[in-house]
Amino acid sequence: MSHMGNVTIGEYIASRLVEIGVRDYFTVPGDYNLILLDELLKNKDLQMINCCNELNAGYAADGYARANGVSALVTTFSVGGLSAFNAIVGAYAEDLPIVFVSGGPNTNSEVENQRLHHTTGSVSYGYQEEIFTKATAYAAIIKHLEDAPSQIDEAIRICLLKHKPVYLEVPCNLAGLPISPPHEREFLHGLTSDEMSLNQAIDDAVRLLSEAPRPVLVAGVDLKSSGATEAFASLVEASDYAYASMPQGKGLVSENHPNYIGNYWGPVSSPGTAEIVESANMYLFAGPRFTDYTTCGFTTLINHDKSIYAGPDFVRLPDCTYNHVMLKDFLEGLSKKIKPNNASLVAYNRVKQEFAPEPPVKKDEIITTRRLFGQVQEMLDENTTVLVETGDSWFNGIKLKLPEGAKFEIQMQYGSIGWSVGATLGYALAAKDKRRLLTFVGDGSFQLTAQEVSTIIRYELDPIIFLLNNGGYTIEVEIHDGPYNNIKNWDYAGLVDVFNAGEGNGWSTRVTTEGELQKAIKTALAHKGGPSLIEVMLDRDDCSKELLEWGSRVASNNSRPPKVL
């Protein structure tokens, strides 16, 4: 990195983004960010990705961060930034590092009492930063040139350290002005454990687990942001315990290891899994998220007197909590002291069900959700990522058995419908020529963000999108039905030709039978240089039994009467 001569604020940001591994950034232009975009475009190692709107650009940054480890988003002030807010909140909830840079008003406008367009009409322009303090780990407006390098570096440092979005606002009259150049530095200094707390937590956990006749391990989503997936795998090897994954943790640990017993999701778990987990004498949950969604409306039968809850930076035992204990350090230390015990695995092998393979394709049979995912299972290999939208796609996707190396993406903490289309753009871009992305989205969700398929076509990305057309918001139907869950049908397959506009290479088709689906999958797998969209026509009431069970339990939790204080 050069130390010679000044650079502009925009050039400084671009240089730092390249340094941390960002190759593409997502944007929609607006007059407050145009100079900033000019400066970013000077860096030939960065590609600008123009999106249809800022919400979708934010979802794309979410998907890119999942595949790449960090991403960047650039918007204009207020009308752009606030449009992106929902996506940034989702990324915050899901622990995704996004460097979000917004253009801002001229630094003189407020002191000169100028009322500006794209604002609330009041001469007070700090409101966007104030709003984003609620959804980022760091938020700042660059007001003085001499402060810019430290503010930019601090934002990036916190973004990578905390695995959260950060917000930087660059006034439009500062973006092209010179500041000191970036110097070489290391951003990835992780948090360290308090040694005394760590050692005590390990010793107490070893004691509790060793005293338990049938202990079990459960993998949660925070293993990823904590960098602890390999440490969890080492603990499995050292302990010989049976282990399960929570729904958000699917794909983080191998589903092909002999000790893997399936997905733990309370009453909608994989067959036999809940019985083994909930009957264990002691269970260690590593990086879990206990929400109404992941616990089926808080109906799981977890006894906290038998639980070790290892969070990102703490360990909670039945009678003691140890703070400043990093998850990776704790699991690594535990694997060095734990004694093997396969009793829970033996118990699982007694009750597990062996499933017969799906019968051969019946070419003229009307397609069902079950038969759709039966064919999808055959598509998966080590280079596949499955991305599932909020809805029945969750439940069917989670039931897929992932080959070694395959990955799985879900937005369950935030659950913003429409997320998957933008996230598909970002993920496919970050994983281009490395992984094949399969996206599953319902028709209702697709209608919120459909136009970003045109951006996928524009940048010649080749995900396969399965659009499940069942005439409405099926997940909402099963929680609480009403006329608001019905939507206007679209010619979804026909949209691809609209987005191609005679120059793109998107491919689409509509299928109603098993044979048509089989043929469509074969064509989609061979298609390159553009997306494939397979519109799958399904009965409105065709959903998994797990969704029915889950929906009723979540609805019951939602409808609890108010307590009298």
DSSP conformational letter for 461: -
* Total residues belonging to the chain: 565
**Does 346 share its domain with 378?**
no
Average pLDDT over residues 462-482: 80
For 19-28, 215-224, 466-475, 553-562, which range has the lowest pLDDT when averaged over its residues? Answer: 466-475
Look-up: residue for tokens 């002191």? 111
What is the average pLDDT across 501-528?
97
Q: What was the pLDDT predicted at 380?
A: 97
Confidence of residue 474 (pLDDT cuts 50, 70, 90): low
pLDDT given at position 285: 98
**Same domain, yes or no: 506 and 477:** yes
User: Which pLDDT belongs to residue 478?
Assistant: 61
Residue 305 has pLDDT above 50, yes or no: yes
On whether residue 362 sits in a domain, the answer given is no
Tell me how far apart the alpha carbons of residues 556 and 560 are, in angstroms, rounded to a whole number.
Answer: 7
DSSP 77: T
87: pLDDT strictly greater than 90: yes
Percentage, residues of the chain above pLDDT 90? 84
Question: What are the tokens at 112?
Answer: 């000169």
The answer, yes or no, to whether residue 232 has pLDDT greater than 60, is yes
Residues 115 and 210 in one domain: no
Q: CA separation (Å) from 142 to 3, 118, 382? A: 22, 19, 44
**Share of the chain residues as helix, strand and coil, in percent rounded to the nearest 5:** 40, 20, 40
DSSP 419-450: HHHHHHHHHHHHTTTT-EEEEEEEHHHHHHHG
Number of domains in the chain: 3
Given a cut of 60, whether residue 289 has pLDDT beyond it is yes
Is beta strand 307-310 parallel, antiparallel or unpaired with respect to 314-317?
antiparallel
Q: Please give the pLDDT value at position 36.
A: 97
CA separation for the pair 14, 16 (Å, rounded): 5
Q: What is the predicted pLDDT for the residue at 480?
A: 65
Mean pLDDT of 251-271: 95
Residue pair 68/24 in contact by the 8 Å Cβ criterion:
no
Mean local confidence (pLDDT), 90-105: 97
Quick check: 138 and 166 in contact, CB under 8 A? yes
- Which residue among 147, 179, 211 closes a domain? 179
Handedness of CA 340, 341, 345, 350 (dihedral sign): positive
First to last CA, the chain: 62
pLDDT band at residue 2 under the 50/70/90 scheme: very low
**Is the pLDDT at 77 greater than 60, yes or no?**
yes
Q: Is residue 114 part of a domain?
A: yes
36 and 116 co-located in one domain: yes
Tally of CB atoms within 10 A around 483: 6
> Are the C-beta atoms of residues 29 and 37 closer than 8 Å to each other?
yes
The verdict on residue 565 lying in a domain is no
What pLDDT sits at residue 477? 63
The token pair that represents 89 in the structure block = 């909140």
CA-CA distance, 122 to 136, in Å (whole number)?
A: 25
Q: According to the model, what pLDDT value does residue 551 have?
A: 81
* Residue 546 pLDDT class (50, 70, 90 cuts): confident
* Residue 123 covered by a domain: yes
Query: 50-60 pLDDT, tens per residue?
Result: 999 999 999 99
Do residues 430 and 497 both lie within one domain?
A: yes
What's the pLDDT tens digit per position in 437-457?
A: 999 999 999 999 999 999 999
Residue 1 lies in a domain: no
Residue 169 and residue 35 share a domain: yes
Residue with the two structure tokens 């966007």: 128
Q: Do 524 and 548 share a domain, yes or no?
A: yes
Rounded to two decimals, what is the model's pTM? Answer: 0.95
Measured between alpha carbons, how far is residue 345 from residues 240, 247, 302, 352, 447 in Å?
8, 20, 19, 10, 44
Cα–Cα distance for residue pair 102/54, rounded to 1 Å? 11
Cα–Cα distance measured from residue 308 to residue 73, given in angstroms and rounded to the nearest whole number: 38
Please tell me the distance from the alpha carbon of residue 61 to that of residue 24, in angstroms, as a whole number: 9
Pair 532, 523: CB distance under 8 Å: yes
Quick one: average pLDDT of 360-373? Answer: 93
Q: Does residue 365 have a pLDDT over 60?
A: yes
Query: Are both 462 and 522 inside the same structural domain?
Result: yes
Which amino acid is residue 92, in one-letter code?
Answer: Y
Q: Residue 308: what pLDDT?
A: 97
Which residues sit opposite 484 in a β-bridge?
none
Residue 287 to residue 313: CA distance in whole angstroms: 9
Tell which of 116, 147, 179 closes a domain. Answer: 179
Give 99-156 pLDDT, tens digit per residue. 999 999 999 988 998 998 898 889 888 999 999 999 999 999 999 999 999 999 999 9
CB of 1 within 8 A of CB of 183? yes
Which range marks the domain in which residue 381 is found? 369-552
Q: Does 557 fall in a domain?
A: no
For residues 212 and 105, give the distance between their C-alpha atoms in angstroms, rounded to a whole number: 62
> Does 410 share its domain with 465?
yes
Q: Are 535 and 510 in contact (CB under 8 A)?
A: yes
pLDDT category at 231 given cuts 50, 70, 90 is very high
Would the pLDDT of 96 be above 90? yes
| Per-residue model confidence (pLDDT) at position 4 | 54
- Is 358 a member of any domain? no
Dihedral sign, Cα of residue 148, residue 151, residue 153, residue 156: negative
Q: Which helix (H) or strand (E) holds 169?
A: strand 166-171
Based on the domain organization, do 539 and 446 belong to the same domain?
Answer: yes
Query: What are the phi and psi torsion angles at 384 (to 5°)?
Result: -100, 140
What is the C-alpha separation between 553 and 548, in angstroms, rounded?
Answer: 9
End of a domain among 148, 179, 210? 179
CATH code assigned at 502: 3.40.50.970
**Helical pair 34-41 and 9-19, crossing angle rounded to 10 deg:** 50
pLDDT at 152: 98
- Amino acid letter, 347: A
In whole angstroms, give the CA distance from residue 461 to residue 431: 10
Q: Please, are residues 104 and 125 in contact by the beta-carbon 8 Å criterion? A: yes
pLDDT at 1: 46
Cα separation, 331 vs 343, in Å, equals 20
Segment holding 408, helix H or strand E: strand 407-410
Question: What's the whole-number mean pLDDT along residues 14-35?
Answer: 97
Whether residue 332 is found in the same domain as residue 376: no
Taking only the tens place, the pLDDT of each residue in 196-207 is 999 999 999 999
What are the tokens at 434?
A: 């490395």
Residue 3 clears pLDDT 60, i.e. is over it: no
153 lies in the same domain as 204 = no
User: What confidence category does residue 233 fall into, taking pLDDT thresholds of 50, 70 and 90?
Assistant: very high
What is the four-CA torsion angle of 431, 435, 438, 441, rounded to 10 degrees?
-10
Q: Which residue has the tokens 């689906």?
A: 517
- Judge whether 422 and 88 are in contact, CB under 8 Å: no
Is 189 a member of any domain? no
Residue type, 107: T
pLDDT exceeds cutoff 80 at 484: no
